[in-house]
């Protein structure tokens, strides 16, 4: 996930659509949470978000809060949802991206934060929703190749 | 009693962890939002900057190698063109020298003080914000290179210098730049042709435009589409006369005593690679960030 964040801030700028990049770290977080459960999901979310906050101008705690909640919520679904290779990754990622947008709007409203992307339901959010949705099946397929996730799947089963 | 706590945490391990993490995040948010100086952020910025530099350098190397052959061909063509232009420039230089001599003579007659040019620090954009919610740029220069918080940032694109934004966070080796289109970025400015003053503010990356407020309504007939907007130098944060953008729309809301001008930035922020940070002029030290004050709104008569 740390590698995903580094990619997002550097290389993925080259494939940005109207300045919007896919949130690879979010897709990986969904995958990990769905495989490993709420405990690993929330801790991974917090760690990733905290790292993101350290790297950005965003206030410390902003991304860690969003990703902790998303990691926990998706972790609760672990073992209860059958993940097919194509449709479910898209649905899960689209919902997570919208959830992230809503949470970002709430947190920014509560803490009075003002940043350019904070207007929740704007074109930028929908571009990110689409972009993440398109990438999700491929990233899920790639992550399925990793041995550690396969083992976790067996444990979970 | 300790057994009670242990039993409770053993039973609610997941929930307790969630509450701990959420509370930690909220506490960090509350502290950070009160603008308390947080050293871990600067440390994190420098550590992350190290990896960002590495990533950018690694992929740039591949890109540069592939593009070098094409660049050589282009360079040969450019050399021929440049030689022709050099001859033209020789003549222009002679004219400039003559004009400069005349200008100095006139300045001395008018008793103007010669101001020394401000120091400039060249920097490369090595990363952008990791999420689409914020819009900062990370540059490869930090406090070690003399970068200070609040420094104005400019860039050259197509032989035109334009304002990019200002430095908001400084680490030892990297810094964060807040771009002009961010709603938090405000610049004291004026319309170059009519000299009317106003305040330029970003409208967010979603729109990519700027808005200029507090321009007197009386100026409506003088201002035209395409007029250049430049920094006014008021407030002391941004030097005077830096290009900001061109006017794309003029509206005069009936409920306001001033005009609202839509300004298109002169800089294409998606193509930014190299930036210049402007240091304080020798006789005009830069104020701390956030001291910019808007000009007084015109009073209705």
Say yes or no: B140 and B11 in one domain.
no
> How does strand B210-216 pair with strand B120-128?
unpaired
* Residue in chain B nearest A115 by alpha carbon: B134
Q: Let me know: does B274 contact B123? Beta carbons within 8 Å.
A: yes
Is pTM beyond 0.90? Reply is no
Q: Let me know: does A126 contact A119? Beta carbons within 8 Å.
A: no
**pLDDT per position as a tens digit, B38-58:** 456 666 666 676 667 667 777
Say yes or no: B136 and B283 in one domain.
yes
Asked if the structure places residue B40 within a domain, the reply is no
**Interchain contact, A60 vs B32, CB within 8 Å:** yes
**pLDDT per position as a tens digit, B202-242:** 887 766 789 999 888 888 888 888 889 999 888 778 888 89
Chain B contact present for A25, CB below 8 A: yes
String of DSSP letters for B56-81: HHHHHHHHHHHHHHHHHHHHHHHHHH
**Interchain contact, A115 vs B59, CB within 8 Å:** no
Chain B contact present for A116, CB below 8 A: yes
Helices (H), ranges, chain B: 2-11, 13-33, 39-110
Asked if the structure places residue B175 within a domain, the reply is yes
Confidence of residue B245 (pLDDT cuts 50, 70, 90): very high
CB neighbour burial string for B261-288, b if at least 16 within 10 angstroms, e if fewer: bbbebbbebeebeebbbbbbeeeeebee
Say yes or no: B24 and B137 in one domain.
no
Q: What residues are paired with B285 via a beta bridge?
A: none
Give the number of beta-carbon pairs within 8 Å between A and B: 169
Asked if the structure places residue B263 within a domain, the reply is yes
Tell me how many domains chain B contains.
Answer: 2
Chain B contact present for A119, CB below 8 A: yes
B192 or B118, greater pLDDT: B192
Q: Let me know: does B278 contact B154? Beta carbons within 8 Å.
A: yes
**Interchain contact, A9 vs B27, CB within 8 Å:** no
Residue A125 in tokens: 């959010």
Say yes or no: B11 and B135 in one domain.
no
Chain B contact present for A26, CB below 8 A: no
Domain ranges of chain A: 21-143
Asked if the structure places residue B265 within a domain, the reply is yes
**pLDDT per position as a tens digit, A99-154:** 988 888 788 777 777 654 545 556 778 888 999 999 999 999 988 887 555 544 44
**Interchain contact, B45 vs A46, CB within 8 Å:** no
Asked if the structure places residue B97 within a domain, the reply is no
3-state secondary structure at position B261:
strand
Domain that holds residue B212: 117-301
pLDDT at B109 over 80: no
**Interchain contact, A13 vs B33, CB within 8 Å:** no
Say yes or no: B124 and B262 in one domain.
yes
Q: What is the CATH number of the domain that holds B295?
A: 2.40.10.340
Chain B contact present for A74, CB below 8 A: no
Asked if the structure places residue B106 within a domain, the reply is no
Asked if the structure places residue B85 within a domain, the reply is no
pLDDT at A82 over 70: yes
Asked if the structure places residue B108 within a domain, the reply is no
Say yes or no: B154 and B297 in one domain.
yes
């Amino acid at each position: 996930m740390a590698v995903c964040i580094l990619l997002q801030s550097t290389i993925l700028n080259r494939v940005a659509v109207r300045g919007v990049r896919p949130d690879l770290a979010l897709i990986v977080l969904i995958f990990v949470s769905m495989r490993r459960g709420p405990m690993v999901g929330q801790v991974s979310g917090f760690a990733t978000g905290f790292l993101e906050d350290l790297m950005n101008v965003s206030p410390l705690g902003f991304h860690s809060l969003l990703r902790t909640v998303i990691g926990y919520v998706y972790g609760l679904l672990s073992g209860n949802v059958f993940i097919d290779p194509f449709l479910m990754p898209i649905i899960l990622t689209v919902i997570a991206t919208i959830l992230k947008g809503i949470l970002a709007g709430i947190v920014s409203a509560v803490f009075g934060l003002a940043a350019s992307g904070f207007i929740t339901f704007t074109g930028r959010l929908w571009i990110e929703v689409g972009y993440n949705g398109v990438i999700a099946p491929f990233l899920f397929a790639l992550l399925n190749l990793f041995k550690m996730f396969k083992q976790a799947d067996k444990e979970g089963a | 009693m300790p057994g009670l706590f242990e039993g409770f945490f053993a039973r609610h391990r997941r929930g307790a962890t969630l509450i701990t993490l959420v509370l930690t995040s909220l506490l960090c948010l509350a502290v950070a939002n009160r603008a308390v100086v947080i050293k871990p952020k600067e440390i994190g910025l420098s550590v992350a900057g190290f990896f960002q530099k590495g990533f950018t350098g690694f992929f740039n190397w591949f890109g540069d190698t592939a593009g070098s052959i094409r660049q050589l061909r282009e360079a040969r063509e450019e050399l021929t063109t440049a030689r022709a232009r050099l001859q033209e420039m020789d003549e222009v230089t002679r004219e400039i020298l003559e004009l400069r001599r005349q200008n100095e003579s006139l300045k001395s007659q008018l008793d103007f003080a010669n101001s020394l040019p401000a120091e400039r620090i060249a920097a490369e954009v090595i990363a952008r914000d990791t999420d689409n919610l914020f819009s900062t740029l990370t540059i490869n220069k930090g406090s070690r290179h003399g970068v200070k918080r609040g420094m104005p940032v400019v860039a050259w694109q197509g032989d035109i210098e334009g304002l990019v934004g200002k430095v908001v966070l400084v680490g030892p080796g990297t810094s964060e730049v807040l771009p002009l289109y961010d709603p938090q970025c405000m610049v004291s400015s004026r319309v170059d042709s009519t000299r009317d003053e106003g305040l330029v503010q970003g409208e967010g990356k979603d729109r990519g435009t700027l808005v200029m407020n507090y321009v007197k309504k009386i100026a409506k007939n003088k201002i035209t589409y395409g007029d250049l907007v430049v920094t006014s130098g008021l407030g002391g944060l941004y030097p005077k006369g830096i290009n900001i953008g061109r006017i794309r729309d003029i509206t005069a809301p009936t409920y306001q005593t001033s005009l609202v001008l839509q300004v298109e930035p002169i800089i294409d922020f998606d193509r930014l690679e190299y930036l210049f940070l402007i240091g304080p002029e020798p006789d005009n030290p830069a104020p701390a960030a956030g001291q910019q004050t808007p000009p007084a709104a015109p009073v209705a008569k």
